[in-house]
Amino acid sequence: MDIRGMRYFVAIVEHGSLTRAAEVAHVAQPALSQQLAALEAELGVALVHRGAKGVKPTEAGRTLYRHARAILKQIDVARADVKVAGADIAGTVAIGLPTTAAAAFGMPLVRAVRQRYPGVRLQLFESMSGYIAELLNNNRLDFAILFRDTPSRAVELEPLASEALYLVGTPPVSAASKRHRARSGKEATIALKALADVPLVLPSGAQGLREVLERHASGAGIRLQVVADLDSLPILLQTAREGLACTILPASSLSREPDDDALPTRLILPELDRTLSLCWPRALPRTAAADAVAEALREIVAAKIAEGGSLKPARA
């Protein structure tokens, strides 16, 4: 395997088309096809499935893709380190933010990077946490914010903050009757076990929020009444606004639309929270630029915690 062949293969997987990959790589398609065939012959396995709708990686292809991304990243890092040795921080930093985190930290981070590190090119991916985790596992991100509290063999975690979760929307009368006022007399609450009676729309099982909820529900001996899996924050909120079902979100998720101020919210008791963690892929080297952007993000999160809003320090 050579570097050029790995770059071509990565382009094929990411674009799902030999034609498009050839255009991006600035090479003739027959030459690209020959490179792919030579790579498959060298490794002795099929790397892609060819079909009418394009090409998709085989299991062997997905494995090679992950390694190729890591190797190419290492080469890019070495090249950048040599070029900027003794100079200002520069380079490309790719980060992933789930939709709710992007709403809170996206623009402050863009401003901070532009002000402090004009030589850094920021690539910000906003999506549901399941897709962000997939990008991270495939070594396509320098780091990401994810709602996790346990590391893995592929990902190293740095807890930054925690957020309480709220029932959003108007629950049925039987469940609503179980809510009560907190000691302050200001904040409506609902018992965790009462959620078994509430029709819910939630992100799918691949998302961090859903994993937290399912784990707590199981611990309480209840089964959540999920009527739809919706991997879209705007649609989750609109469903709650229209009274079709309730959803469960942190308070920070309610700041995107003016109408969200009128949405009923109830703190779930015993209190449920999710941990906001800085996640680094173990297979990739950390660049000076990535470390600098991560430090800026830490400062933004710390400032949000100091404001006294929904974000709290991460639990030990």
Residue 143 phi/psi, 5-degree rounding, is -165, 170
**How far apart, in whole angstroms, are the C-alpha atoms of residue 273 and residue 264?**
19
> Which H/E stretch holds residue 227?
strand 225-229
Q: What stretches in the chain show pLDDT beneath 50?
A: 86, 178-186
Q: What is the pLDDT of residue 81?
A: 67
What are the residues facing 57 on neighbouring strands? 48
Q: What is the pLDDT of residue 182?
A: 37
The per-residue pLDDT for range 142-186, each reduced to its tens digit, is 999 998 888 788 899 999 999 889 999 988 765 555 444 433 334
**How far apart, in whole angstroms, are the C-alpha atoms of residue 88 and residue 164?**
40
Q: What is the pLDDT of residue 185?
A: 39
Q: What is the pLDDT of residue 259?
A: 56
Task: Give me the half-sphere count of Cα atoms (radius 13 Å) on the Cβ side of residue 120.
Answer: 27
Which amino acid is it at 136?
A: L
Domains in the chain with CATH codes = 3-74 (1.10.10.10), 89-316 (3.40.190.290)
From residue 241, alpha-carbon distances to 24, 219, 257, 265, 268 in Å are 44, 29, 11, 11, 19
What are the residues facing 146 on neighbouring strands? 277
Which of 47, 42, 22, 23 is CA-nearest to residue 33?
22
